[in-house]
Amino acid sequence: MEHAVQQTPERQAFYEKIDGENLTALWTVMGALITPEPKSPCRPAAWKFDAIRNYMLEAGGLITAKEAERRVLILENPGLRGQSKITTSLYCGVQLVLPGEVAPAHRHSQSALRFVMEGKGAHTAVDGERTMMEPGDFVTTPAMAWHDHGNESSEPMFWMDGLDIPVVQFLDASFAEGLKQDEQAVTRAEGDSFARFGHNLLPVDMKRASKSSPIFNYPYRATREALETMKRQAEWDPCHGLKLRYTNPVNGDYAMPTMGTFIQLLPKGFKTSRYRATDATVFTPVEGHGRSRIGDTVLEWGPKDVFVVPSWQWVEHEADDEAVLFSYSDRPIQEKLDLFREDRGNA
């Protein structure tokens, strides 16, 4: 579709005339609007958890969780600085809650995920139910669900926050409000949602309007057990190793409507085949060390680090020891809009 449009004095005068009427000639911008392949300012990038942890603890001495409302450092993509984005459609941050602190209750249009990085003994409460959090747990916060966080342990708690903020911002659909009290009332026993929905059983007359999963904590112990059982078959996908997606037990769809969440196991020494897809993806290793080649960039990673693979860039992962990677992307949106595309290279 690319073709050069010659510039002439008459054409330039025409463009200047219509500019005053808030009009633009499509033929002058079509090449930038409809590109032959995805063209994104998002860049391959990585953040080391040890550095983030030190900065977070320093921030903990500067501002309380209550004053900040959420004490978070945003991971900004180097190609998208100043926009609070890790990809063009996703937000990522690392949150710290110190012993005895509460991050006060609020709710908003944006859906959020928590992936626990370090610490035990803190809780998240979502719509009247609390769940204790441990490293590797994946916790959801559906759109407009009341949520607050507290830490009753003696150690700091760190987790990764993933949100669809750029999507909601793009659609001008943001709403938010505070509860005017630090913690919401707990109305259901801890573990209630997992007991009801986490064992391939559903209440017989269940009716649910939300498109998010009714399970809001997918514990790592259960996830790791599933990976351990499945790896015995040694059915390794050349591009992914063993990769699973978190699902909504009500309909089998993604656990969250705007963000797909995934867990994958790479055996020691495994190197994936080249792969690319239109969904820019955020990764954080839970276990293991290795590296990822993204285009011409090689990023080394270990537990709790974070790295990002931009849209339609070739990626290869290599594990030095057995590795488990959590990741999230906007794939559910792209699939529902018939936009998702992948290329498995020579696999």
Residue 4's pLDDT is 78
User: Mean pLDDT of all residues in the chain?
Assistant: 94
Q: Answer whether residue 185 shows pLDDT above 80.
A: yes
Q: What is the pLDDT of residues 88-119, one digit of tens each?
A: 999 999 999 999 999 999 999 999 999 999 99
Collect all residues with Cβ–Cβ distance below 8 Å to 324 and sequence separation of at least 6. Answer: 136, 224, 227, 263, 264, 265, 266, 285, 286, 287, 288
User: 195 or 286: which carries more pLDDT confidence?
Assistant: 286
| Of 298, 272, 301, nearest in space to 289 by CA | 301
Residue 347's pLDDT is 66
Q: What is the pLDDT of residues 122-176, one digit of tens each?
A: 999 998 899 999 999 999 999 999 999 999 999 999 999 999 999 999 999 999 9
Residue 150 is which amino acid? Answer: G
Q: Answer whether residue 215 shows pLDDT above 80.
A: yes
Sketch out the chain's domains with CATH numbers. 1-36 (no CATH), 45-343 (2.60.120.10)
- Across 281-305, average pLDDT: 98
- Across 331-345, average pLDDT: 97
Q: Are 213 and 202 in contact (CB under 8 A)?
A: no
Residue 210's pLDDT is 84
Distance of CA 329 to the CA centre of its chain: 6
Q: Answer whether residue 1 shows pLDDT above 70.
A: no
- Across 44-64, average pLDDT: 97
How does DSSP assign 246-315, residue by residue? -B-TTTSSBSSSS-EEEEEEE-TT-BPPPBEESS-EEEEEEE--EEEEETTEEEEE-TT-EEEE-TT--E
What six digits make up the tokens of 295?
Answer: 């285009």
Q: Are 144 and 173 in contact (CB under 8 A)?
A: no
Q: Answer whether residue 207 shows pLDDT above 80.
A: no
- Across 318-347, average pLDDT: 96
What six digits make up the tokens of 237?
Answer: 């996908």
- Output the furthest CA–CA distance in the chain (Å, rounded): 74
What angle is formed at CA 212 by the lines to CA 245 and CA 226, rounded to 5 degrees? 30
- Across 202-229, average pLDDT: 90
Structure confidence at residue 198 as a pLDDT band (50, 70, 90): confident
Structure confidence at residue 208 as a pLDDT band (50, 70, 90): confident
Structure confidence at residue 23 as a pLDDT band (50, 70, 90): very high
Tell the residue number behind the tokens 């610490």, with chain if given.
Answer: 119
Q: Answer whether residue 279 shows pLDDT above 70.
A: yes
Helices and strands: H and E segment counts in the chain: 8, 22
Residue 18's pLDDT is 97
Q: How many CB atoms lie within 10 A of CB 178?
A: 13
Q: How many CB atoms lie within 10 A of CB 33?
A: 8
| Of 147, 152, 161, 62, nearest in space to 98 by CA | 152
Give the three-state DSSP class for 210. coil
What angle is formed at CA 234 by the lines to CA 326 and CA 293, rounded to 5 degrees? 45
Residue 346's pLDDT is 78
Q: Taken in order 97, 102, 106, 112, is the CA torsion positive or negative?
A: positive
